[in-house]
């Protein structure tokens, strides 16, 4: 595994790589869209010493997984075969393998817009949820990020980056972002109730709800939690109740997209053990009745209690989710990459599937994480149509 190879040579790389080589690798990885301008600037400006720049570069690329790590190794081989040999890296790949690295998915750092032709084609498709220019203008999203906790030991370092990345992505997709930080479980519930009454919901084509905190199976934790047994617990099921057909009729027949970044238990997502471990990587775990008979009122009708939901949870049941203390959560990084690159052509279910597929590349020692698509009750395909 390429990421494991980089981890193995980390100390030697930091000792031997030159300032010029770091600059060249940064340019190469920027061209490959492994890094974006902000990440490049961060590595150069936030680290004064060459060794610190080298360490930040290697850690950033390694954290992005095997695909990014293979590209860095390939560029290192192209730039300095002697250094590559000294590091003991498996750089001497045949030309066709190097070419294959170049042909792998290039993740966009900005949102790719849907074409007019794609927009016009999908407007005629009865199997997609209706999206109009007016409904796009009325999109609204809820973003809740718990970072600072009453027990400072539980503070979620790096979650600021998650909040920043999700807010930008949602804004680029034309959602007005209703943002909260550091809420108790009760306050999370209150925020959802308030959101369910937002005046834009009657005109929107969809909503997105993102909650990021510590968690356990079936719940996210408020900022007053002490551990998994804390009373400061918000059941995830309440989201579906607050935004469901009965309590939020304004969202009837509209997609409700739920993203939860939180652990679902304390178990690990891998069954094989490796000695490599990135200490910058941590996990978000803290060890009205229906009428009967002759109904006559024409304005009343039965509807599905829970419909048009689709959720992406950051890990499988009973396992932890990982968050880098500088770069943010693995899930949020992958969501941004996939949505930026493919939201112009893919519906939400396919985007979530690609996030899961992207997660197959996440390797950090014995750590693994696989997001799961949950409680899918969407009956049509939903497209964001970025740029429209």
Residues 153 and 88 in one domain: no
> Would you say residue 363 lies in a domain?
yes
Closest by CA to 91, choosing from 111, 119, 70, is 70
30 falls within a domain: yes
Please determine, for residue 274, whether its predicted confidence score (pLDDT) is greater than 50: no
Residues 123 and 49 in one domain: no
Residue 138, SS3?
Answer: coil
35 within a domain of the structure (yes/no): yes
Task: Using the 3D structure, point to which of 103, 126, 148 is the last residue of a domain.
Answer: 103
Q: 324 in a domain, yes or no?
A: yes
* Residue ranges of E strands in 164-206: 176-181
Asked whether 116 and 58 are in contact (CB, 8 A), the reply is no
Would you state the pLDDT for residue 96?
39
| 311 shares its domain with 219 | yes
Are 79 and 12 in the same domain?
yes
Q: What is the pLDDT of residue 297?
A: 39
> What is the C-alpha separation between 30 and 18, in angstroms, rounded?
18
Is 263 a residue of the active site? yes
C-alpha–C-alpha distance, residues 286 and 247, integer Å:
32
Q: In this predicted structure, what is the pLDDT of residue 275? A: 33
- pLDDT category at 360 given cuts 50, 70, 90 is confident
| Nearest of 292, 319, 302, 310 to residue 348 by alpha carbon | 310
Confidence of residue 252 (pLDDT cuts 50, 70, 90): very high
Q: Which domain holds residue 337?
A: 116-266+275-286+301-374
- Are 85 and 153 contained in the same domain? no
Of these residues, 84, 91, 225, 263, which one is catalytic? 263
**What is the model's pLDDT at position 354?**
93
**321 or 169, higher pLDDT:** 169
pLDDT for 279-314, tens place per residue? 456 666 665 333 344 333 344 455 567 799 999 998
The answer as to whether 191 is a domain residue is yes
Do 150 and 71 reside in the same domain of the chain? Answer: no
Flag whether pLDDT at 269 surpasses 70: no
Task: Estimate the crossing angle of helix 348-359 against helix 330-342, to 10 degrees.
Answer: 130
pLDDT digits (tens, 9 = 90+) for 177-236: 999 999 999 999 999 999 999 999 999 999 999 999 988 888 999 999 876 566 899 999
Tell me, yes or no, whether 294 lies in a domain.
no
Domain-located, residue 246: yes
**Pick from 50, 78, 103: which residue ends a domain?**
103
Answer yes or no: is 211 within a domain: yes
Q: What is the pLDDT of residue 330?
A: 84
In the listed set 50, 81, 103, which residue is the last one of a domain according to the structure?
103
Active site residue 113: no
Q: Choose between 269 and 370: higher pLDDT.
A: 370
Lowest mean pLDDT among 102-106, 137-141, 211-215: 102-106
Q: What is the pLDDT at residue 286?
A: 61
Q: Note every long-range contact of 199-202, with CB atoms under 8 Å and residues 24 or more positions apart, other chains counting.
A: 200/138, 200/139, 200/140, 200/176, 201/140, 201/248, 201/250, 201/251, 202/250
Written as six digits, the tokens of 59 are 């850690």
One domain for residues 152 and 202: yes
Active-site hit among 63, 198, 214, 324? 214
Residue 144 pLDDT exceeds 50? yes
Rounded Cα distance between 252 and 257, Å, is 13
**49-63, 127-141, 201-215, 270-284: which has the minimum mean pLDDT?**
270-284
Q: What is the CATH number of the domain that holds 49?
A: 1.10.533.10
Domain tally, the chain:
2
- Residues 85, 137, single domain; the answer is no
For residues 215 and 352, membership in a common domain is answered with yes
Residues 161, 241, single domain; the answer is: yes
Q: Which of 4-13, 104-113, 265-274 has the lowest mean pLDDT?
A: 265-274
pLDDT, mean of residues 263-281: 47
The verdict on 239 and 365 lying in the same domain is yes
Per DSSP (E only), the strands in 163-287 are 176-181, 207-212, 215-216, 219-221, 233-235, 256-261, 281-283
Q: Please give the average per-residue pLDDT across 96-104, as a whole number.
A: 42
Q: Are residues 86 and 175 in the same domain?
A: no
Domain CATH for 311? 3.40.50.1460
């Amino acid at each position: 595994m390429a990421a494991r190879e980089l981890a193995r040579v980390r100390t030697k790389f930091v000792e031997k790589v030159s300032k010029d080589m770091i600059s060249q690798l940064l340019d190469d990885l920027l061209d490959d869209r492994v890094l974006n301008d902000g990440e490049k600037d961060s590595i150069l400006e936030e680290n004064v010493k060459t060794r610190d720049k080298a360490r930040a570069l290697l850690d950033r690329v390694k954290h992005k997984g095997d695909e990014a790590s293979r590209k860095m190794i390939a560029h290192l081989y192209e730039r300095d075969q002697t250094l590559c040999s000294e590091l003991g890296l498996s750089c001497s790949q045949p030309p066709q393998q190097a070419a294959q690295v170049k042909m792998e998915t290039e993740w966009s750092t900005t949102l790719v817009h849907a074409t007019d032709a794609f927009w016009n084609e999908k407007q005629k498709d009865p199997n997609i949820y209706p999206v109009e220019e007016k409904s796009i203008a009325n999109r609204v999203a809820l973003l809740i990020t718990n970072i600072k906790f009453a027990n400072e030991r539980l503070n979620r370092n790096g979650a600021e980056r998650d909040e920043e990345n999700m807010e930008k992505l949602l804004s680029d997709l034309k959602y007005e972002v209703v943002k909260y930080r550091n809420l108790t479980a009760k306050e999370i519930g209150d925020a959802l109730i308030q959101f369910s009454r937002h005046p834009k919901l009657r005109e929107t084509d969809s909503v997105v709800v993102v909650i990021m905190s510590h968690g356990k199976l079936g719940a996210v934790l408020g900022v007053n939690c002490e551990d998994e047994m804390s009373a400061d617990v918000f059941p995830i099921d309440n989201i579906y109740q607050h935004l469901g057909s009965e309590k939020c009729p304004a969202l009837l027949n509209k997609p409700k997209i739920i993203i939860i970044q939180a652990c679902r238990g304390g178990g690990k997502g891998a069954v094989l053990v490796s000695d490599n471990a990135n200490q910058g990587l941590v996990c978000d775990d803290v060890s009205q009745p229906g009428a009967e008979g002759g109904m006559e009122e024409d304005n009343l009708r039965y509807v599905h209690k829970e419909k048009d939901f689709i959720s992406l949870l950051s890990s499988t049941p009973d396992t932890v989710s990982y968050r880098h203390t500088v770069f943010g959560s693995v899930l949020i990084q992958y969501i941004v990459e996939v949505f930026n690159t493919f939201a112009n052509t893919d519906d939400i279910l396919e985007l979530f599937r690609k996030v899961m597929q992207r997660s197959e590349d996440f390797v950090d020692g014995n750590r693994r994480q696989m997001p799961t698509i949950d409680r899918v009750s969407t009956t049509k395909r939903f497209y964001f149509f970025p740029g429209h």
